[in-house]
A and B are shown apart, each in its own frame.
Chain A
Amino acid sequence: MSTKVLAIDDSRTIREMLKHTLSSGGFDVLLAEDGLDGVEKLENFNPDLVITDINMPRMDGFGVIEAIRRTEKFNGLPILVLTTESAQELKERAKKSGATGWIVKPFDDEKLIGTIRRITV
Chain B
Amino acid sequence: MSASAEIRQTFFQECDELLEALDDGLYEIDQGVADGEVDAETVNAVFRSVHSIKGGAAAFGLDDLVHFAHQFETVLDVMRDGQLVPNEDVMKVCHRAADHLSDLVAAGRDERVLEGSTGADLIKKLSEIGGREATTGSSEQQSVDAGVSFQPLGLSLPMDFTFEEPAENDFSIQLIPSASLYSSGNDVSFLLRELIELGEVKVSVDTSELPDFDEMDCSDAYFKWSIDLRTTEAASSVRDVFEFVDGMCELDVTSREPSAKPSGETEEEDDDGPPALPLLNGASEPDAVEPPRQQSGRSEGKDKTGAQSGPKATVRVNLDLVDRLINMVGELVINQAVLTQCIDDAGLLDRGDLATSLAEFKNLARDIQESVMAIRAQSVKPLFQRMARIVREAAELSGKDADFQTEEETTEVDKTIIERLVDPLTHMIRNAVDHGLESRDDRIAAGKPDQGTIMLSAAHRSGRVLIEVSDDGAGINRPKVLKIATEKGLVSPDAQLKDSEIDNLLFMPGFSTADKVSNLSGRGVGMDVVKSAIQKLGGRVNIQSTPGKGTTMSISLPLTLAVLDGMVVDVAGQTMVVPITAIVETLRPKAGDIHRLGAETSVVSVRNNLVPIIDLGVVFGHRSQPMAISDMVLLLVESDNGTSWALAVDQIFDQRQVVIKGLETNYGHVPGVAAATILGDGNIALIIDPEETAHRNGPVIDQRDLALFDEVS
What 0/1 pattern do residues 34 to 62 of A give for CB contact below 8 A with B?
11100000000000000000011111101
What 0/1 pattern do residues 130 to 145 of B give for CB contact below 8 A with A?
0000000000100010
Chain B residues with CB below 8 A from A101, complex form: 186, 243-244
Which single member of A66, A76, A99, A106 contacts B182 (CB below 8 Å)?
Answer: A76
Q: Give the residue name and chain of the B residue nearest to A68 (CB).
A: B185
User: How far is the CB of B221 from the nearest CB of chain A, in Å?
Assistant: 13
- Inter-chain contact A60/B293, CB cutoff 8 Å: yes
- Inter-chain contact B55/A106, CB cutoff 8 Å: yes
Also in contact, A119 and B11, with CB within 8 A (given A57-B308, A96-B278, A106-B59): no
Query: Is B645 an interface residue, CB under 8 A from the partner?
Result: no
Is chain B's binding surface mostly helix, strand, loop or mixed? helix
- Inter-chain contact A36/B244, CB cutoff 8 Å: no
Which single member of B3, B58, B298 contacts A20 (CB below 8 Å)?
Answer: B3
Per the 8 Å Cβ criterion, residues 386-415 of B in contact with A are none
Which single member of A13, A58, A84, A93 contacts B297 (CB below 8 Å)?
Answer: A58
Which single member of A10, A63, A78, A84 contacts B185 (CB below 8 Å)?
Answer: A78
Chain B residues with CB below 8 A from A55, complex form: 44, 47-48, 51
Per the 8 Å Cβ criterion, residues 106-121 of A in contact with B are 106, 118-119
User: How far is the CB of B463 from the nearest CB of chain A, in Å?
Assistant: 36
A97–B10 CA distance with the chains assembled, in angstroms: 32
A60–B296 CA distance with the chains assembled, in angstroms: 11
Also in contact, A86 and B6, with CB within 8 A (given A13-B14, A58-B308, A119-B190): no
- Inter-chain contact A62/B185, CB cutoff 8 Å: no
Chain A residues with CB below 8 A from B295, complex form: 63
Also in contact, A119 and B185, with CB within 8 A (given A63-B292, A96-B278, A96-B289): yes
User: How far is the CB of A22 from the nearest CB of chain B, in Å?
Assistant: 12
- Inter-chain contact A98/B184, CB cutoff 8 Å: yes
Per the 8 Å Cβ criterion, residues 81-96 of A in contact with B are 84-86, 93, 95-96
A84–B144 CA distance with the chains assembled, in angstroms: 12
- Inter-chain contact A95/B298, CB cutoff 8 Å: no
- Inter-chain contact B184/A95, CB cutoff 8 Å: yes
- Inter-chain contact A35/B70, CB cutoff 8 Å: no
Also in contact, A63 and B59, with CB within 8 A (given A96-B282, A101-B186, A118-B194): no
Query: Is B54 an interface residue, CB under 8 A from the partner?
Result: yes
Is chain A's binding surface mostly helix, strand, loop or mixed? mixed
Chain B residues with CB below 8 A from A11, complex form: 14, 52, 55-56
Q: Give the residue name and chain of the B residue nearest to A105 (CB).
A: B55
What 0/1 pattern do residues 331 to 369 of B give for CB contact below 8 A with A?
000000000000000000000000000000000000000
Also in contact, A14 and B55, with CB within 8 A (given A58-B297, A62-B292, A96-B282): yes
Which single member of B4, B6, B45, B54 contacts A57 (CB below 8 Å)?
Answer: B45
What 0/1 pattern do residues 3 to 29 of B give for CB contact below 8 A with A?
110110011011000000000000000
Q: Give the residue name and chain of the A residue nearest to B7 (CB).
A: A16
- Inter-chain contact A59/B292, CB cutoff 8 Å: yes
- Inter-chain contact B183/A60, CB cutoff 8 Å: no
A12–B4 CA distance with the chains assembled, in angstroms: 14
Q: Give the residue name and chain of the A residue nearest to B4 (CB).
A: A20
Per the 8 Å Cβ criterion, residues 151-191 of B in contact with A are 180, 182-187, 190
Q: Give the residue name and chain of the B residue nearest to A86 (CB).
A: B140
Ranked 4 nearest A-B pairs via Cβ: A100-B185, A101-B244, A106-B59, A63-B292
> 8 A-B Cβ contacts within 8 A?
A16-B6, A17-B7, A59-B292, A59-B294, A95-B246, A96-B289, A105-B58, A119-B190
- Given pairs A13-B56, A57-B309, 15 additional interface contacts (CB within 8 A): A11-B55, A14-B52, A35-B294, A55-B44, A60-B292, A62-B289, A63-B294, A69-B183, A69-B286, A79-B185, A85-B144, A96-B290, A97-B290, A98-B184, A100-B244
Binding site for A on B (CB under 8 A): 3-4, 6-7, 10-11, 13-14, 44-45, 47-48, 51-52, 54-56, 58-59, 70, 140, 144, 180, 182-187, 190, 193-194, 243-244, 246-248, 278, 282, 286, 289-290, 292-295, 297-298, 305, 308-309
